[in-house]
Structure 1
Amino acid sequence: MLNGYDRYLNQHSSLSSLIGEYLKQQRHNNHLSGAELAKLMGLSQQQISRYERGMTHFNLDTLFRFFRVLNIPVQDVLFFFELVTTWHDEKNKY
């Protein structure tokens, strides 16, 4: 039986989807709407939506801009990269 962490990892078929869901949760934790985050990021609300739904791939510059604007603490960024590494390892077992 899968625990909550494993279920979370397994529900995402793409890395962009996993990252987008994580950032969406962080946006909600910061009590920001998509439009508010878009303004802070200098992007359109539609672009934020595409990132959060995994429709647009991330580059590192954009990812770190999200971390900075959302005030994600360093320990949470480290957890995020552990999450991504675990997801990647699970999807590429064979």
Structure 2
Amino acid sequence: MKIKNSLRKDIGLFLRESRKKKSLSANQLGSLVHLSQQQVSRYELGITTISIEMLNVFLIALDKNWSDFFFSVMADYSDEIKELKTGYY
């Protein structure tokens, strides 16, 4: 299980990787979610904590769902989720 202090950074990495997979610049994503490129960068770098509501806005804009997020990010923070991800019960 990972240290919880790095959760913001892992969420940011997920957002950045998802953005790049859609071939979007931070400025383009910012336009989609009505934020500045600088604020998008703060989220992606883990400088600013993202709210659940804003994370949902990003997921929608990036064509991701909560399952994508949980299994990509949260699995490293929970033994139970990690077991679901790997199929071991």
TM-score above 0.5: yes
- Paired residue total: 78
Amino acid of the structure 1 residue aligned with 2:76: W
In 1, Cα distance between the equivalents of 2:75 and 2:14?
14
Cα distance change of structure 1 residues 34 and 89 upon mapping to structure 2, 3 Å threshold: same
Cα distance change of structure 1 residues 17 and 71 upon mapping to structure 2, 3 Å threshold: same
Counterpart of 1:69 in structure 2 is 61
Counterpart of 1:86 in structure 2 is 75
Unaligned 5+ segments in structure 2 are 80-89
Unaligned 5+ segments in structure 1 are 1-8
Q: Which moved more, 1:28-37 or 1:77-86?
A: 77-86
RMSD: 2.1
Counterpart of 2:17 in structure 1 is 25
Amino acid of the structure 1 residue aligned with 2:75: T
Counterpart of 2:36 in structure 1 is 44
In 2, Cα distance between the equivalents of 1:16 and 1:56?
8
